Structure 1
Amino acid sequence: QVSGGDDEIQQLQKALLDYLDENTEIDASLVFSRKFYVAQWFRDTTMETEKAIKSQKDEDSSEGTHHAKDVETTGQIMHRAESRKTFLRSIIKTAPSQFSTLK
């Protein structure tokens, strides 16, 4: 369920990223963990979107009819995926100063 522009997964992602941010001074490896999670979540979002599109195309070709409910569901998945990608891009853009401190 999407509420206030953030879905539950995105809220959990933000909480984990905030935790990692707060503890990078204690453990420098958390910076790399943070990068990994952002990249993995971006990949997962892309894969979820591709799977939804493929599923919709498979249903359309097998049934021969187009259900408005299915289209809406795919549209919602696409919207949620774009929202998550935008969130992850904003995380990437706000973190370079932190990443440049480790060499």
Structure 2
Amino acid sequence: EDEIQQLQKALLDYLDENTETDASLVFSRKFYIAQWFRDTTMETEKAMKSQKDEDSSEGTHHAKDVETTGQIMHRAESRKKFLRSIIKTAPSQFSTLK
């Protein structure tokens, strides 16, 4: 778990604990999860595009960039897995509110 995941989990836990007093927090929780998943996907796409651009130009820092891209991809997959697990363990309010 990286620092961002810890902060996300803390916020989601807070929202979970307070949904009984404010129903809008259920929707806030859904929004944050979706937004974080989107952000992670965008970060992955940006890293892949950057690597592709570097592959085309054969820059001098190519090996370093590939390692960085690999790290970004690994971190992004870890975050997506975390967010998917959060969705699977979503509170019952998610399925009952329409």
1:31 alignment partner in structure 2? 26
Deviations 1:31-78 (A, max 9, x none): 000000000000000000000110111122123667322111111000
1:71 alignment partner in structure 2? 66
Deviations 1:66-103 (A, max 9, x none): 73221111110000000000000000000152313434
Is the Cα–Cα contact under 8 Å of residues 16 and 91 in structure 2 kept in the other structure? Answer: no
1:51 alignment partner in structure 2? 46
> Unmatched 5+ residue regions in structure 2?
none
In the superposition, the TM-score normalised over structure 1's length comes to 0.87
Is the Cα–Cα contact under 8 Å of residues 60 and 66 in structure 1 kept in the other structure? Answer: no
In the superposition, the TM-score normalised over structure 2's length comes to 0.91
1:91 and 2:89 aligned = no
Cα RMSD after superposing both structures:
1.6
Is the Cα–Cα contact under 8 Å of residues 33 and 83 in structure 2 kept in the other structure? Answer: yes
> Unmatched 5+ residue regions in structure 1?
1-5
**Displaced runs of 4+ in structure 1, greater than 2 A?**
63-68, 100-103
Is the Cα–Cα contact under 8 Å of residues 48 and 69 in structure 2 kept in the other structure? Answer: yes
Task: Identify the range of structure 1 (38-47 vs 60-69) with the bigger mean alpha-carbon deviation.
Answer: 60-69
SS at match of 1:27: coil
Aligned residues: 98
Q: d(CA) in 2 for partners of 1:69 and 1:102?
A: 48
Is the Cα–Cα contact under 8 Å of residues 49 and 77 in structure 1 kept in the other structure? Answer: yes
